[in-house]
Every structure is written in structure tokens, then in C-alpha cells.
Amino acid sequence: MEIVIVRDAAEAGRVAALKIASVVERKPEAVLGLATGSSPTGIYASLAARVQAGELDFSRASGFALDEYVGIPLEHPESYASVIRRDVVEPLGMDPDRVRVPDGRADDIEAAAVEYDEAIAAAGGIDIQILGIGANGHIGFNEPTSSFASRTRIKTLAPQTRADNARFFDDPSQVPTHCMTQGLGTILDAHEVVLVAVGSSKASAVAGMVEGPLSAMCPGSALQLHQHATIVVDEEAAALLTLADYYRYTYANKPAWQRFEH
């Protein structure tokens, strides 16, 4: 894993956006793995500004969302289909026909989940997967004890996750209890992963993910098995990392050919 410690959330979004931009510049028809939540908003804002400036073009890229709630209508403003359209597809100028979100409303949810993984594979796999991490270490909606081999499937949301996401709903009771999420195995198949975590509420999950043992109790620790994962954290989210100074030193001494900052 490459750990990049930055000043604040805005800087985290800017730095992580450089990773996405370099993939799309190299391969305009790249397949992006799209995350929702607060963590990636800085990435999308930074990319959208570059699209507006005419520096980046996502019109040929395609996307697969990480997850979706089960049990809320498509047109609900907090369905991830709505969020992805509003926060990603429109500001980045992506083609809506090339962006898929797991179908949490399918009659046969298990078949829809299998088909989702097949569609990712048929697209050639995800070139770069954007991720956040939950306070309990979840990535996507893979809650603690999710199998490292899991594929896209229906999951039950942990009470903490429902409480954390209640801020997006009028009433906590409206937060769905179930979701469909890419599995940890699905996420590990992505060619590259970039995860953003900011704020002190993420410090313990970040420490577990980066330095903790490989454990299904911290689903993010599965990323230790990924060969190309970049973790961008602000100072608060990095607060419990034992080797923080080493990560700073490593980043400061990256050879020019390896740098992704312009």
C-alpha cells in the first residue's frame, strides 16, 4: 500500500483526483469504480473543475458504482443511483448509459448481483476503484466479518452504518437495513484502488486497514492483499498510524518517475 498523508480534506480530494485523472488521460475509455459518501466528494469536485476547464474528458469512460441500498425507490434522492447521477455523472460529463449502479430493486436480487460482477468482467474489469472507509472499517458496504472472497451480493447494514448514514435521511428509521454491494473479492479484482479517509472518526479504521492484521473484522484490511492500492488520508485520519513518519518520508522521497503529483 502507498500511504499519502495530506493536510486536509480538500488536499486529499485533489491528490486522489490526480490518480483518477492520470488513468483517464492514459485511457479515455477507462472503467471507473465509483463510490458515494462524503469521502470522495473532494475527488469529484476536483475532477469536475478540470472537466470544466477543458483539461479532462470523461465522455468515453464508463463506471460501476460500489453499492446501492435495497428497499428505496430509484428516484429517491438518496438512492445511490440518484447520488451517482447528481454527484458524479453530471458534473464529470459521463455518459449515463455507460454508468451502472447495482440494482437494489431487482425481483431476483441474487441473480442481479451475479450479473453485476459479470458485467464488470465483461467491461474488462475496473481500471481504478475509488473508495472511502466506514468508521467500523467497512469498504463498499462490506461490514465486519465479510469474506475476503465475497462477490457482489445483498448485505445487512450494521447499526453503526445506519446511524452514520442517517444524516442523509429525514429520519434515522428511513435508512434501509439492506444493501447490495460489490464484494471484497470484487474490489480486490480492480486493477488499481484509491481510498480517501478524512477526519478523526476514521483514524481507528485507517490504522486497522493499513497496519492491523488481515482480518474480516476490519474489511478494509483486505486491501493489504491488493498490489496497487493508494490510501490518501488527512492528518486526523492518520493520527493512529504507527509508521506515519515513514509514510511521509517515503512520499517525500519518491523518485520523479513514480510521482503522481504534477
Cell numbers linked to 210: 493499513
Closer residue to ligand GLP, CB minimum distance, 28 or 71: 71
Return all residues near 10 (Cβ < 8 A) that are at least 6 apart. Answer: 42
User: Which of 79, 142, 161, 221: binder of ligand GLP (CB under 6 A)?
Assistant: 161
DSSP readout, 186-211? HHHHSS-EEEEE-SGGGHHHHHHHHT
Residue 72 Cβ vs ligand GLP, minimum distance, rounded to whole Å: 14
3-state secondary structure of 20: helix
Sheet arrangement for strand 178-181: 67-70, 178-181, 153-156
Q: Does 66 bind ligand GLP (CB under 6 A)?
A: yes
Q: Nearest to ligand GLP by Cβ — which residue?
A: 132
User: Which of 10, 22, 38, 115: binder of ligand GLP (CB under 6 A)?
Assistant: 38
d(CA 190, CA 186): 7
Which one of 37-45, 51-59, 97-105, 250-258 is the stretch in contact with ligand GLP (CB under 6 A)? 37-45
- The span from the first CA to the last CA of the chain, in angstroms, equals 21
Site string for ligand GLP, 205-234 (x = CB under 6 A): ------------------------------
Residue 132 Cβ vs ligand GLP, minimum distance, rounded to whole Å: 3
- Closest by alpha carbon to 211, among 244, 250, 189? 244
Q: Does 42 bind ligand GLP (CB under 6 A)?
A: no
Closer residue to ligand GLP, CB minimum distance, 30 or 175: 175
Site residues, ligand GLP (CB under 6 A): 35-39, 66-67, 132-134, 140-141, 161, 165
